[in-house]
Amino acid sequence: MKPLIVKLGGSVITDKRKPFTIKRSVIKRLARELKDVKGSLVIVHGGGSFGHPLALKYKIADGYHGKDQLMGVSLTHLAMEKLNKYLVEALQKEGIPAIAFQPSACVLSSNGRIKSMELRPLERVLALGLVPVLYGDVVFDVVKGISIVSGDQMVSYLARKLGASRVVFGVDVDGVFTSCPKKDSRAELLRVITPSDVGSLASVWEGESGDVTGGMRAKVQELLELAKFGIEAEIVNAARPNVLREALLGKRGLGTVVTRGK
């Protein structure tokens, strides 16, 4: 069965203003919404206020430059494990057989892009009916020594390799806008984006990073690449109750659809 892949943004499940702070009530609500999904499911989450501050402090995305980064690798990975644990426990309390799946143990990257990933254990997990929960993580890089593979990139890679039925990204805004809606009241929501729209998305490509893995810009880039393989994705506002549930149950048009087009 082709899996449905959902990405929970770090800005949704953590408070980015306060390091190592989860949004406990939001995580509980999202777990309730996720339990309504039938069939094969893969969950990936971002780093939010757990992974990003440490990765930035130790410049992990830039590659290995000295032994002073090694503690940073250890601390960043541990922070992501802690966030993953909060989410997995919330899912389990809702009766979802969630199981943590550690990317750093099965992924090799090259210049920050996934080079290979051992997928056989993940495929067995899905075949048994378990729900793997992955996350953006520190990984070991054949060129740079160390790097960060974002949850966004993880979703794109898994969707292609596993032949996902659909991808849903849960973020803290209503979708992709012409500029940052938190700063610009004139920002307009883009309902559909296709690979042919790249040239007209300058305001999305500029700035709006917010984290070490590229923010909304990186999400759109990953999903546009995915669209070329015929896999549709939608970016929706998971901070609004029941929006994620409706999207996962098949409702379209709740946010921004990223598709191959005609």
DSSP 187-232: --EESEE-GGGGGG-HHHHSS---STT-HHHHHHHHHHHHHTTT--
In this prediction, residue 232 carries a pLDDT of 93
Is 172 buried (19+), middle (13-18) or exposed (0-12) by CB count in 10 A? middle
Return d(Cα 214, Cα 221) in angstroms, integer.
10
pTM of the model: 0.94
Of 68 and 209, more confident = 68
Is 194 buried (19+), middle (13-18) or exposed (0-12) by CB count in 10 A? middle
Domain residue limits, the chain: 4-258
Q: Measured between alpha carbons, how far apart are the two ends of the chain, in Å? A: 26
CATH architecture, domain defined by 4-258? 3-Layer(aba) Sandwich (3.40)
Q: pLDDT, tens digit, for every residue of 51-73? A: 999 999 999 999 999 999 999 99
Query: Is the pLDDT assigned to residue 114 strictly greater than 90?
Result: yes
